Structure 1
Amino acid sequence: MIRAVYPGSFDPVTNGHIDIIQRGAKIYDEVIVLVAENISKIPLFTLEERLSMLRESLQHIPNVKVDSFKGLLVDYIKKIDVRIIIRGLRAVSDFEYEFQQALTNKKLYPESETVFLISDIKYTFLSSSMVKEIAKFGGCVEDLVPECVAKKLYEKFNVKR
């Protein structure tokens, strides 16, 4: 069984994330979507809310599991005996950061491999930050995120839709 981990903060999960997860699930026997407790970011949603939204959004994909971690990704993947890390690339601007992360993970855990999946063209502009900004000012996010996420965003920003 070949398993892979797709880590991120998912604050919130977008349709771009879902696309990468679905595609990863076609390649690997199991994909673990790993919600990071990123100390350098102040999340809009709690860890529990992000986990819940992901589980609801991904329930239709049987070989996907959702988990969370705090600390180094390589410590988590060593612990569960996974060597493949999936990362999505939207644009060239993502590459430098992702490349640096992949090399760092390789240095810390030489058995790890990072696999980059190129974003579908319709999601190249999409980011969680952009979605939050649109929702905050009452814009429509329903075609950018799963339905349960749109609902939570509107509730969080007290937007009537």
Structure 2
Amino acid sequence: MQLMPDSPLRRAALEVEAYVGAEGWDQSPRLFALVPTADLIAREPALADQLSSDLDGITPVEQELDPTRELEDLLTEIEWPDAVIGCAAVIERIMLPPEAEESLPDDPEALVAAAAAHPDRQEVRLVAAVTRDGRSHSAVRARQPLEAELLEGPDLVPGLIEHLRGTLTAAP
């Protein structure tokens, strides 16, 4: 196993994965603002005891989402204030092996049904975290086996990373 270089962004992404993972599976998408820990403590000193003592770190702050909307649609409408240096999202999806793509239907509803029924499907939790300066970190955990290894890297979930990056740039 190759270890990823440590960074505040990596630690924030792994913290988000562990936090959401502790609540089990079959969850709705989750979204987090990423704020410099030092800035958060400066603005909210009462939170200092609850936050990491790493003043160079990044603290994830969970956001409320409309449960009736798809995360990808919500992300097209989000603009973060300047105090937010990045964001992270967690979603659960079904992944299929590449060879399964040839037999999948084009119709979106039929595609969802076929993926859910596919014998080689793998349920996964995807985590992506990005910052305004272009950095990213992602993680993927399979639902099975129970102690599945967490895979991580800068771009394991490129689609979700791009959706998140879109929330950090001002519209032209």
> Normalised by the size of structure 1, how large is the TM-score?
0.23
Q: Determine which structure has more spread, i.e. the larger CA radius of gyration.
A: 2
TM-score w.r.t. structure 2 length?
0.22
Q: Which has the higher contact order (CA 8 A, sep 6+)?
A: 1
The structure where helix makes up a greater share of residues is 1
